[in-house]
Amino acid sequence: MFQIDDTCPALMDYITEAVNGSWVSKQKMSLQNNDKLQISMLVQFNEEIFEKSETRVILNTRLLTTKDSSSRVITFLSGEGECQAYLAPAQQVKRCKPAQTIVSSGRHTCQGELIFEDNFSEAQLNKTTWKHDIRQRMYHVEEELVAFDDAARNSFVKEGELHIVPTIATEVSDGSFNLGDRCTAVESPDQECKIAHGIFYSIKPPVFSAQIHTRNSFSFKFGKIVVRAKLPKGDWLFPYLMLQPVSTYAETHYAKQLRIAYARGNANLRTKQGDDISGNHLYGGGVVWHHGNAVQFIKDKISNNHYGDDFHNYTMIWQRDKITLMVDEEVYGELYDGLSFFNEKCFIIFGVTVGGFLNFDDGVLAKDVKPYKNREPRAALSFWQHRDSWAPTWGRQSAMRIDYVRVYAE
């Protein structure tokens, strides 16, 4: 940034690559005799920001260096000393308050800057941005009664919306189940890519759905994410709108999660104490694991209507010292505990699953409400055998529809 005689506006340039081994900024500016030129540089490297500034004076066409120089390492930018600046080469006026946000590209960001967006305006899902999770989820203690696939019936873009649609299998017993080379499981491919025929109580997945993520294309640490979505309706459906650390895979068991928002698909669901935890009840927050047990930092909000009845804006503002949760611009919770667990860049995950011991905890639900028991060998079989009790609650409304997702620097 170049500033003449301590006056604003200044001239600012973002330099993203070297030219012939040098980092060069060229500005069109007129300098007069005795002008004082302040030159400030910010260099971001390995998630640290290095600042150096010096002042030079024009004297008889010579550029003289003064003693006014300084350098320092900044843990994060506070925005102090901000100055309106002309951003070369477009020469557009831009007021930049440096953000604490760190993005996967490593570039510098300004507070409020849009750093990621998908409006799903193309005819198909952008496969450069989003990757499908392809694997079955029935074998682990966190058991979900679903297989994620990239089939067109389970995820597609239509009229500017992303649709993630769970579909019920036509049969579950004949033959074996094998995703083959399409399977994306990295940590447990032997269990998640196939189900061998003839295993005691084993069946093929009773439900197929989709889960997508940005692990290979975009991640960020600290920022504001807004998702406009219509959540799924139907018994035992559960939506995933969440962030997960880049040090994990989408499939990683016991991965830490920042859940932007969720509401269970059930129209009627209560705890043993009679508390309503149906789709009228919205939740958001963080989940971490300790020796296989979930520790949740959650805030909630109850509505008169199911959150799958209409579109809502779900917002999570992730800052260094606080997480703020909002729905339709209304704050319903602030989290201060557990933030130290989320100290790395995270990627975005969208999906619809079925069941899950954390999502539908037997220890919380009223007795005999659920047509299967978590962590039992025949859970999936019991769920399938009782499909007459839950399948009628599904339909067109069982899809999760996402209008857009936007991430802003904070």
| Structure confidence by residue, pLDDT tens digits, 275-319 | 999 999 999 999 998 887 889 999 999 999 999 999 999 999 999
pLDDT bucket at 72, cuts 50 / 70 / 90: low
**What is residue 126's predicted lDDT score, i.e. its pLDDT?**
97
Give me the DSSP letters along 141-205. Answer: TT-BS-EE---TTTEEEETTEEEE--EE-S-SSSS-EE-GGG---SS-HHHHSEE-TT-TT----
Domain parsing of the chain, residue ranges: 2-97, 118-408
pTM of the predicted protein model: 0.78
251 against 240, higher pLDDT: 240
Average pLDDT of every residue of the chain: 86
- Reported for 302-309, long-range contacts at CB under 8 A and 24+ positions apart, including other chains, are 302/276, 304/280, 305/280, 306/233, 306/263, 306/267, 306/278, 306/279, 306/280, 307/231, 307/263, 307/279, 307/280, 307/282, 308/230, 308/231, 308/232, 308/233, 308/263, 308/265, 308/279, 308/397, 309/233
399 against 343, higher pLDDT: 399
Q: Which CATH architecture has domain 118-408?
A: Sandwich (2.60)
